[in-house]
A = this chain, B = another copy of it.
Amino acid sequence: MRAIGLIALLFSCLWPAAAYTAELRGTGDLGIIVERASGSVVVIDTSRHSIIHRVKGLGDLSHASAVFSRDQRYAFVFGRDGGLTKVDLLKGEISGRTVQAGNSIGGAISDDGKLVAVSNYKPGGVKVFDAKTLDLIADIPAISGKGGERSKTVGLVDAPGRRFIFSLYDAGEIWIADFSAPGAPKLTKFGDAGKLPYDALITGDGRHYIAGLFGEDGLTHIDLWADKPETQTILKDYGRGDRKLPVYKMPHLEGWAKAGDRFILPAVGHHQLLAVDTRTFEHVGTVKLHGQPIFAVARPDGRHAWVNFALPHNDTIQVVDIPTLKVIHEFKPGPAALHMEFTPRGHEVWLSVRDADKVHIYDARTFAKKGELGVTKPSGIFFTARATRTGL
């Protein structure tokens, strides 16, 4: 009995020690890949090209995006069903979750890392949460002065100075919510932001907010550095024109790439990329492509953009050289090559090949394939380095 007791005691002592031997690791080279059909994400190590965790229970991820805490330890995953899930990348588990709306399209994190905002369709508006606890800090219903129902909110981004900017799809407005002072956010509303803004982006310097319009041609631009920021139209001919194009076929503004002196953006309804000067917003060139581009993703140095395509060409990737606007490489990774992410210094690009259940890894200069991971119905790939950049 004494022997059994001693063995039991020894075992009970060793168990806690074993539980703490989790490997110490940095978080700067981690990331997540969304498994869109199973409500799960895999946590990946981009240095070792390996999957370190699979985390389940994130709800409907058929359309999902993510942002990261400033320490790069946590991902905040925004799901289509209004779920906001905080994932601990080190432990490989959910550390917080709230289903905060009926239908939701994306989110953002403030520059100081303290607030997470979510952009909701139903009910229309933006909710803001404490990044640490997920407590609700603010609820901003998207009710315009023009009357009518609450608008779906789209194009939510963070801006320097603890601000969020978003567009009201139905009312055609753009709002800035400034959380830099204690208490309720200070709202600045631009009531004339064009017809049916469906998406937006902010440039990496936090200066330019650009919204795509579904209800008319052109885009709406706000220069946030102006003494009195105001909405202006740029690229007046950019749009669907008279074509009957459903809104989900309009280009994602996160499909724009900033490459040095140029924005590179998918044309609407054409097999082309447009190049736009970043100082003047004038159209300066065109690249003819293999199909209708969905995403143009810039290599971090801005020298190349990798482009993927809508059906029926979504098995193909083209690489465009930005100074010459020429296609310099083309390859077929597999069926439904849908999302790309570059490592922060641009040495590799990772690519989801959804219908092959694979993520491929390529050398970003030689285009050689370096490896692959088995991921089930992979969609979005998000690396923790996004925590260091505005608008991502």
Interface of A toward B, CB cutoff 8 Å: 6, 9-10, 13-14, 16-17, 20-22, 24-30, 46-47, 68-74, 89-91, 111-113, 160-162, 180, 205-207, 225, 260-261, 279, 300-303, 323, 343-348, 365-366, 384-385, 387-390
Beta-carbon contact of B24 and A90 below 8 Å: yes
Q: Is the CB of A160 within 8 A of B28?
A: no
- Inter-chain CA distance A301–B162, complex, in Å, is 14
Given contacts A71-B27, A389-B345, contact A47 B301 (CB under 8 A): no
Chain B positions within 8 Å of A89 at CB level: 26
Partner of A22, one of B24, B300, B301: B24
- In the complex, the chain B residue whose C-beta lies closest to that of A323 is B225
Q: Which residue of B14, B73, B112, B162 is within 8 Å of A13 (Cβ)?
A: B14
Q: Are B111 and A26 in contact (CB under 8 A)?
A: no
Let me know if B205 and A260 touch, CB within 8 A: yes
A95 to chain B, nearest CB (A): 11
Which chain B residues lie closer than 8 Å to A390 at the CB level?
A: 300-301, 345-346
Assess the A345–B28 pair: CB atoms within 8 A.
Answer: no
Given that A160-B347, A347-B112 are contacting pairs, would A71 and B25 also be in contact in the complex, using a CB cutoff of 8 Å? Answer: yes
Residue of B nearest to A161 (CB): B365
Closest Cβ of chain B: how far from A66's Cβ, in Å?
A: 15
A384 touches B162 (CB 8 A): no
Distance in Å: Cβ of A111 to nearest Cβ of chain B: 4
Q: When chains A and B are docked, how far (Å) is the Cα of A102 from the Cα of B90?
A: 41
- Docked-complex contact B26 and A69, CB < 8 angstroms: yes
Task: Return chain B residues, CB-CB under 8 Å to A13.
Answer: 9-10, 13-14, 17
**Residues of chain B within 8 A of A384, CB atoms compared:** 28
Nearest opposing residue in chain B for A321, CB measure: B225
Task: Note all chain B residues with C-beta closer than 8 A to A25.
Answer: 71, 73
A27–B388 Cα gap in the complex (Å)? 12
Complex Cα spacing A161 to B301, Å: 11
Inside 8 A of A29's CB, which chain B residues have their CB?
70-72, 113
**C-alpha gap A301/B202 in the complex (Å):** 12
Nearest B residue to A21, CB-CB:
B20
Task: State which of B46, B206, B260 has its C-beta within 8 Å of the C-beta of A301.
Answer: B206
Q: Which residues from B are CB-within-8-Å of A21?
A: 20
**Chain B residues near A366 (CB-CB < 8 A):** 180
- What is the distance, in angstroms, from A270's C-beta to the closest C-beta of chain B? 28
Q: Which residues of B contact A74 (CB under 8 A)?
A: 26
Beta-carbon nearest neighbor of A226 in chain B: B323
Contact of A9 among B6, B26, B71, B365 (CB under 8 A): B6
Q: Which of B6, B28, B113, B301 contacts A70 (CB 8 A)?
A: B28
